[in-house]
């Protein structure tokens, strides 16, 4: 029983309690102090008992318990593997199942925090089979009529037999041989976008053609990976975040439509339906899902005439009224009739990390603001923004498209010593609203004002902070925002205005901070101060200007860059600090080129550039451990994609030199994906494969995305 203050006091003889009450209960106060110490002792004793078990022990105890069973610690970098607790708890089980495919798959997922699939390549060899152990699933001749097997050929879920190859899997090349084990890993995230209206195709007069992307561009849809129900089950395609395929999804949807199993026990591998990869909704409160029997997977690619002009979409005449055709590879939707709309869509898209606007976990600031306003359902933003001019927070509660060009206004505070006004405009968690402007969005931040914009996506125009008549400071913070590179996207996903600025700051007394943002070029007047943290600044091409004062090459404001990827030329007055970043730029060959170098810092006596990848000929302050250098003179970053909206946008390919992929100050890769700690995850997996592989086996890992 707990010895609290009242219980201790009750143990005293009544005569002492009476006398103590007469004197103001000083003895009771003394016993209360004793009780506090007793409570600490009791808590410590309880924790000492809990510390004997890995499930309940304190975090600092987990490595010591691991040491008792010979556990080898790893880099605890990814959020879900920062603590060794789960791996220590599973170590005995891992050793009992050492070398089995199920165990290796679970191990790879645990130590990398990536979805994984283990493959025993000897099972996929085309060999003369032993008649007492016939492998009917591995015929030497491929069944060309098996559409699913043909599309999976050569990938993580390959079902076609191969002849043996002698290369080792550790090199990332060899696969099909008797001792070889392959671990396939999916690095891309499948991010959700909820209940967004379909975007009409601008070239359609029939009212039948739409796209799911609110920006109106083609978009590859991704699978929302289903959780495995049983630990004794190797991952299947439905359990990993893969891009959706027209052919394979069509087979699954067709099978679901023919299934006689009633909901909710219907097929879960068709990727369509509530809680799955894609579902169409009819507007309402709440929205009503469209049945799988009313949808059809179609190849809705463009139909071109002899001159290469788009005349329509494929299968426009094949989708009857009452049916919704969709193409998951392009994010296109074709209604059987215009009257079948309007529709909403909930879908998933691929991204390399949680950055820019998105429906991922955030914590918008401003909870203690006196004025709390909200907008939902596509209502006008401007009246609410005007009501915040004296301070407060506005939360946008959905992922809809807001077609207006708002003005963010904060009143002036000119009284000496008076604090400025703070305004927060944020997306509710989770939501990703799109501000589709028809021109530049004005940021009318008054003297000493502070504007925070959190979780929004802007398209159609730049954010502009104009100069003011006073010399008072202003502050702008953009957090988890996307300022669409190129201002907007064409239907094919290309930028409408490549190289056009996304943020223009003309006030020399402004302080600008961007955190986890995706943006186009920045035009910042020379005396302003800019901090970029975990951002992508994309000028659309290495020859375009990513950062300067006015678009003509004049030096931009004082710049601090940390863990960023900057694509395009940069000219700054002072590069205060550049750390763990990639600057990917080149001089153009057009007549009239005025830039003397792709990266120029005017003041080279101040500032520091450390652990960065710089373009050839860059003019910078003093450098520390940057590339190219004498040991790595010709290295360049190689990206999966540099087009905004594609799944691998900003991701370094494995062929990139190790001086970039492992060149940051802590051994991680340079650039915006530094926070993913990918080299450490790879090292963790290599250490564990060496420990848990059976003798004679060789294992390698392959990136499926």
Which tens digit of pLDDT belongs to each residue from 63-110?
888 888 887 777 666 555 667 777 787 787 778 888 788 888 888 888
Q: Which residues pair with 610 in a beta bridge?
A: 579, 624
| Span 374-380, average pLDDT | 89
| Span 683-689, average pLDDT | 87
Which tens digit of pLDDT belongs to each residue from 298-348?
999 988 887 878 888 998 888 999 999 999 999 999 999 988 889 999 999
Q: Which residue has the tokens 């992307």?
A: 213
pLDDT at residue number 268: 57
- pLDDT for 257 beyond 80: no
**158 neighbors 123 (Cβ within 8 angstroms):** no
**388 neighbors 406 (Cβ within 8 angstroms):** no
| Span 254-276, average pLDDT | 68
Which has the closest alpha carbon to 276: 229, 238, 330? 238
- pLDDT for 121 beyond 70: yes
265 — pLDDT class (breaks 50, 70, 90): very low
pLDDT at residue number 284: 87
| Ordered DSSP codes for 526-552 | TT-EEEEES-EEE-SSTTSEEEESSSS
- pLDDT for 260 beyond 70: no
**127 neighbors 133 (Cβ within 8 angstroms):** no
Which tens digit of pLDDT belongs to each residue from 124-133?
888 887 888 8
* Residue with more model confidence, 415 or 629: 629
- Whole-number mean pLDDT of the chain? 88
Report helix angle 678-692 to 101-112, nearest 10.
Answer: 150
- pLDDT for 594 beyond 70: yes
**642 neighbors 567 (Cβ within 8 angstroms):** yes
- With a pLDDT cut of 70, the percent of the chain lying above it is 96
- pLDDT for 218 beyond 80: yes
| Span 394-398, average pLDDT | 93
673 — pLDDT class (breaks 50, 70, 90): very high
- Buried b or exposed e, range 655-690, using 16+ CB within 10 angstroms: ebbebbbbbbeeebbbbbbbbbbbbbbbbbbeebbe
pLDDT at residue number 75: 67
pLDDT at residue number 21: 84
| Span 224-251, average pLDDT | 85
| Ordered DSSP codes for 252-285 | HHHHHHH--PPTTSS-SSS-BSTTSSBEEEESSS
| Span 480-501, average pLDDT | 94
- With a pLDDT cut of 90, the percent of the chain lying above it is 51
Q: Which residue has the tokens 């071109």?
A: 304
Q: Which residues pair with 297 in a beta bridge?
A: 326
pTM of the model: 0.88
Out of 414-418, 452-456, 509-513, least confident range: 414-418
Residue 439 neighbours by CB distance under 10 Å: 10
* Residue with more model confidence, 24 or 533: 533
Out of 44-53, 222-231, 388-397, 620-629, least confident range: 222-231
Out of 129-133, 134-138, 386-390, 577-581, least confident range: 134-138
Q: How far apart are CA 273 and CA 96, in angstroms?
A: 39
579 — pLDDT class (breaks 50, 70, 90): very high
| Span 403-407, average pLDDT | 94
pLDDT at residue number 167: 86
* Residue with more model confidence, 595 or 511: 511
Q: Which residues pair with 199 in a beta bridge?
A: 211
Which has the closest alpha carbon to 239: 422, 116, 77? 116
pLDDT at residue number 266: 45
**Checking DSSP bridges between strand 536-538 and strand 565-567, what pairing results, if any?**
parallel
pLDDT at residue number 2: 63
pLDDT at residue number 581: 96
pLDDT at residue number 247: 86
pLDDT at residue number 174: 83
pLDDT at residue number 264: 44
| Span 22-47, average pLDDT | 84
């Amino acid at each position: 029983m707990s010895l609290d203050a009242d219980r201790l006091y009750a143990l005293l003889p009544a005569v002492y309690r009476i006398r103590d009450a007469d004197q103001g209960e000083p003895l009771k106060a003394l016993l209360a102090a004793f009780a506090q110490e007793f409570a600490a002792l009791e808590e410590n004793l309880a924790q000492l008992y809990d510390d004997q078990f890995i499930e309940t022990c304190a975090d600092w105890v987990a490595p010591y318990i691991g040491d008792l069973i010979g556990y080898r610690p790893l880099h605890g970098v990814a959020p879900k593997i920062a603590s060794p607790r789960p791996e220590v708890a599973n170590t005995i089980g891992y050793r009992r199942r050492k070398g089995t495919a199920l165990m290796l798959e679970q191990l790879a997922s645990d130590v990398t925090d990536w979805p994984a699939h283990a493959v025993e390549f000897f099972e996929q060899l085309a060999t003369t089979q032993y008649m007492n152990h016939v492998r009917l699933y591995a015929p030497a001749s491929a069944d060309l009529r098996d559409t699913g097997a043909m599309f999976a050929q050569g990938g993580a879920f390959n079902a076609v037999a191969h002849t043996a190859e002698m290369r080792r899997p550790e090199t990332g090349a060899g696969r099909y041989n008797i001792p070889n084990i392959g671990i396939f890993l999916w690095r891309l995230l499948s991010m959700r976008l909820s209940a967004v209206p379909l975007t009409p195709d601008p070239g359609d007069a029939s009212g039948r053609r739409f796209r799911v992307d609110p920006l109106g561009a083609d978009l590859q849809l991704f699978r929302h990976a289903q959780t495995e129900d049983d630990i004794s089950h190797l991952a299947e395609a439905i359990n990993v975040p893969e891009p959706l395929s027209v052919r394979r999804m069509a087979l699954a949807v067709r099978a679901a439509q023919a299934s006689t199993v009633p909901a909710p026990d219907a097929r879960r591998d068709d990727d369509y339906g509530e809680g799955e990869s894609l579902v169409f909704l009819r507007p309402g409160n709440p929205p009503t899902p469209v049945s799988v029997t009313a949808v059809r997977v179609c190849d809705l690619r463009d139909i071109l005439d002899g001159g290469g002009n788009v005349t329509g979409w494929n299968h426009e005449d094949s989708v009857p009224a009452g049916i919704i055709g969709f193409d998951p590879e392009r994010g296109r939707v074709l209604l059987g009739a215009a009257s079948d709309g309007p529709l909403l869509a909930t879908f998933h898209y691929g991204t390399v990390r949680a950055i820019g606007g998105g429906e991922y976990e955030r914590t918008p600031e401003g909870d203690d603001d006196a004025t709390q306003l909200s907008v939902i359902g596509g209502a006008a933003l401007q009246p609410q923004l005007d009501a915040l001019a004296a301070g407060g927070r506005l939360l946008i509660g959905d992922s809809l498209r807001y077609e207006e060009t708002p003005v963010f206004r904060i009143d002036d505070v000119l009284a000496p010593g008076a604090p400025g006004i703070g305004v927060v405009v944020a997306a509710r968690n989770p939501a990703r609203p799109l501000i589709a402007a028809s021109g530049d969005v004005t940021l009318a931040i008054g003297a000493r004002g502070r504007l925070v914009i959190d979780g929004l996506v802007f398209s159609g125009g730049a954010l502009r902070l104009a100069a003011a008549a006073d010399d008072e400071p202003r502050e702008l913070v953009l957090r988890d925002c996307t300022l669409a590179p190129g201002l907007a996207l064409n239907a094919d996903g290309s930028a409408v205005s490549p190289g056009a600025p996304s943020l223009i700051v003309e006030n020399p007394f402004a302080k600008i901070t961007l955190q986890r943002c995706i943006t186009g070029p920045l035009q910042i007047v020379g005396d302003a101060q800019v901090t970029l943290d975990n951002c992508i600044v994309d000028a659309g091409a290495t020859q375009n200007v990513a950062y300067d004062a006015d678009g003509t090459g004049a030096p931009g404001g004082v710049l601090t860059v940390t863990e960023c990827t900057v694509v395009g030329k940069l000219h700054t007055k002072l590069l205060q600090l550049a750390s763990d970043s990639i600057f990917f730029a080149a001089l153009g060959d057009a007549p009239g080129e005025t830039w003397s170098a792709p990266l120029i810092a005017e003041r080279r006596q101040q500032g520091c550039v450390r652990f960065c990848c710089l373009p050839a000929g860059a003019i910078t302050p003093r450098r520390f451990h940057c590339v190219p250098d004498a040991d790595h003179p010709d290295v360049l970053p190689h990206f999966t994609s540099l087009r905004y909206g594609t799944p691998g946008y900003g991701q370094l390919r494995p062929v990139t030199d190790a001086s970039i992929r492992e060149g940051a100050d802590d051994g991680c890769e340079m650039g915006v994906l530094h926070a993913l700690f990918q080299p450490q995850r790879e090292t963790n997996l290599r250490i564990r494969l060496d420990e848990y592989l059976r003798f004679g086996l060789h294992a390698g890992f392959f990136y499926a995305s």
